[in-house]
Amino acid sequence: MKTQIEHNGIVVLTEEAAQEVSGSPLWNDDLRPTTRQEHSWKGINFATLWIGMCLCIPSYTMASGMIALGMNWWQAVGTIFLGNVIVLIPILLNSHAGTKFGIPYPVFARLWFGDKGAHIPTLARALVAAGWFGINTWIGTKAIDTLLMASFSSWGNLPGHTAIVFALFWILNISVAYRGPEGIKKLSAVAAPVVGISSIILLIWAFTNAGGWGPILETPSKFETTGEFLKVFFPSLTGVIGFWATLALNIPDFCRYAQSQKSQMVAQSLSLPITMTVFSFIGIAVTSATIVIFGQAIWDPVQLLAKFPPFVILLGTIIIVISSVTINVGANVVAPARAIENLYPKRITFGIGAIITGLFAILLQPWYIMSNFGNYIFGWLGTYAALLGPIDGIAIADYWLVRRRQLHLKELYKPNGRYNYANGFNKNGVYALIVGVVIPVLGLFIPPLRFLWDNAWTFGLFIAIGVYTYLMKNDQSVLKEGEYEQITLFDSKHNSPTEIAK
């Protein structure tokens, strides 16, 4: 029986199949596969999404931590570019699944962990996203609070002024996130050009007023040997990869709306690494110029903005708010809200998931994570990269090596279906995750194996790929030869547009 239709590489359920599983406890309007009409995101939508998310304060200041650790400007920028090119690979590999089958991340995870086991990778991703939500809310709070104090001298004397700003900014983020991915698409379309043009204006101002780029771009590396450089390079590279390792997992949440594989792949390949690299360079160049202009290096764009006239401060505050909200709702709310929703699809909505995400973010104390660059790069980014690398590896291995891009879409929504495994848990996914995490962690306790921890995301990813692929040999959940063709109606000139659109 045909239960799914493939048209130009995109698979949707037939109307009969959708009706059959719509009453399942694993189905709701947010988690169901997208229809043909919902595949409406063009390449420009993915480009503006990434540009809007990349143009944020953490991206601006990322290189500053590396320079503080001894790198020169081009070593820092090169590390950032390489890290983003590396993480782009799993992003594109997982994007394919979301685009082809129109499924969000929690449903994608049912393939490799089972319908109950899927809570393991989705809640792990949710934990990281909630942490990032808190970080960006805190960054935005500090920015607004600082700029208010620069504009109104009495604001700093108001008891609890920072807490007031945090609460209001938190509410703003949750309110925008409540609208879901379509609201995020519209916000990104505004944020990308506004923040991008503002960054270029800031760069021109710095170069003009400093009479050049300043001393940071002339300062040599502090490392005398290659070995000394590599000790900082590898954990820094892992930190850069970890910056977007989160989106590498739940990118199907967005790519499920893509019009085609080509459009999303080209747009993401160009926008992510280029935007991150250029914006990091702008951060370095502007900071270098501040040494000449103000006599000190000002890495924080908020502190820099506070030195301008009130009208410029107002405009800058609006831009920083737009930037912070864009990355927060795009990168840090969708995944955890979907994961929480997946716990009880028939009762928990995306909006409720977004609110719970915001509350949990407060409990993670983002002010501590951002208290110094050591906590940020080595503690926060490095630690969760060690957790997400193996999950990325399992997702890639399952879709590309084990199933070879073929699956029974309807069965993902059946509690006792093909992807239920043993009582809802795929033990092979659990084993691969444990091995992929434990081996890199050994580097924390065994000095000669320190390189494993310094490259935790990379080692975890490849170890999990190997273990999972081996364990899943001849698994009963994998479609047999010819089975995909039996359940799939391939679009041809004989299919009516109405039928294909369903």
pLDDT at 495: 47
Q: For the chain, how many structural domains are there in total?
A: 1
What pTM was computed for the model? 0.89
pLDDT at 500: 41
pLDDT at 384: 72
pLDDT at 371: 65
CB-based contacts of 157, cutoff 8 Å, min separation 6 = none
pLDDT at 434: 97
- Taking CA atoms, 4 is separated from 7, 27, 129, 159, in Å, by 10, 16, 33, 60
Residue 202 CA to residue 184 CA, distance in Å, equals 26
**Mean pLDDT, 10 residues at a time, over the chain (502 residues)?**
94 96 94 96 95 89 85 94 96 98 96 96 86 82 86 90 93 87 84 94 93 87 94 89 88 96 98 96 92 89 87 88 87 88 90 90 75 54 77 97 97 94 96 97 93 90 98 96 96 48 41
Domain of 216, in residue numbers: 4-501
Residue 237 CA to residue 239 CA, distance in Å, equals 5
Question: Which of 60, 140, 75, 67 minimizes the C-alpha distance to 317?
Answer: 140
The one-letter amino acid code at 440 reads: P
Secondary structure (3-state) at 493: coil
pLDDT at 377: 46
- Helix (H) or strand (E) holding 319, with range, is helix 310-331
Assign residue 20 the CATH number of its domain. 1.10.4160.10
- Helix (H) or strand (E) holding 106, with range, is helix 105-113
Give the up-direction half-sphere exposure of residue 321: CA atoms within 13 A in the CB hemisphere. 20
Regarding beta strands 4-7 and 10-13, do their DSSP bridges make them parallel or antiparallel, or are they unpaired?
antiparallel
Question: Which of 430, 433, 409 minimizes the C-alpha distance to 419?
Answer: 409
